[in-house]
Amino acid sequence: MLPHDFHPVLQRWWEDRFAEIQDGARHVLAPTEAQLEGWQAIRKGENTLIAAPTGSGKTLAAFLTLIDDLLREGLANGGLPDEVRAIYVSPLKALSADIHKNLAEPRREIRRLGEEMGYAPVRITAAVRSGDTPQRERAAMLRTPPHILVTTPESLYLLLTAEKSREMLKTARVVIVDEIHAVLESRRGAHLALTLERLEHACGQTNAPAGPREGGRSRRLQRIGLSATQKPIEEVARFLVGERPDTQCTIVNRGHKRVIDLAIEVPGSPLEAVMATEVWQEIYNRLIELIETHRTTLIMVNTRRLAERMAHHLTEKLGAEHVAAHHGSLSKE
């Protein structure tokens, strides 16, 4: 169950989305410790760094309080103005596109559930701005800004450079920096740190009202960072919020607890440079057994040709909706 300070619509969404049947009974998954502690800090308006392993729900920890705030504001005011409220920054374009896709379904489900429960519909919008974004979408974004802007460090820098797009960003209340550990020690990291300070400066110039968790005080951009396990984690927090003595960052560090089930298997037939069809079939059959007993399976290979070949054979057995190939030669589509 969600904490009781979330809106009833989100409570219902969580119960529907994270329910599973065990021994014939319906059970709702509980939030992870990273999520519970993250929500508590974010609710208070604190700059927050969440460090936890992959699969612990860091992204939902960052977004759910934001969606809750937008839903409450929209219900109270008969809708939301077309302005950017949150900026999500990912170091990878592919991750940005994935986050945007994963946000779309919950937004639709939450709106549908709200209507079923008798609430007025609240439209919460999101859009991606990266180097792959077509010009017509960039122009449309300036005319009608999304509530959640998903972007990359370099695209955020360019948005801050142009006057019209910088004006669009001024209403942001929250910036979420995902995979922050991936850029920390590189020139991209130094560039992103400067960009965050420029964004803070731009948002401080707005005349927009303070958010519901800001109590009418002078508005500052809330920074939320998501990281894998890092040591010392305090250095990552300093990177996120900067070096100003008046700026604090709450650290939610759940990165040290991880249950790992590791096994090494050796095929019954020897692996050679050129293998017979029967040997490949043996490998495919074992892969299918593993795939069917797990929710998600990632298979690493050495070449583009092998990636496509393996995807083709697995698709024949499992169906196209369950298999996807990825390699560096793939187009954006």
DSSP 322: G
Which pLDDT tens digit goes with each residue over 21-59?
777 778 888 898 999 999 999 999 999 999 988 778 888
29-39 as b/e: b if 16+ CB within 10 A: eebbebbbbbb
Please tell me which of 126-135, 145-154, 225-234 the model is most confident about, judged by mean pLDDT: 145-154
Q: Rounded mean pLDDT of the chain?
A: 87
pLDDT tops 90 at residue 69: yes
Sheet with 250-253, edge to edge strand ranges: 126-129, 148-151, 86-89, 174-177, 222-227, 48-51, 250-253
Task: Compute the distance between CA of residue 241 and CA of residue 206 in angstroms, rounded to an integer.
Answer: 20
Nearest of 152, 107, 142 to residue 126 by alpha carbon: 107
pLDDT tops 80 at residue 65: yes
Dihedral angle, C-alpha 258, 11, 227, 248, nearest 10 °: -120
Contact 122, 71 (CB under 8 A): yes
pLDDT at position 208, please? Answer: 47
Among residues of the chain, what percentage have pLDDT more than 70?
A: 92
Q: Quick one: pLDDT band at residue 95, thresholds 50, 70, 90?
A: low
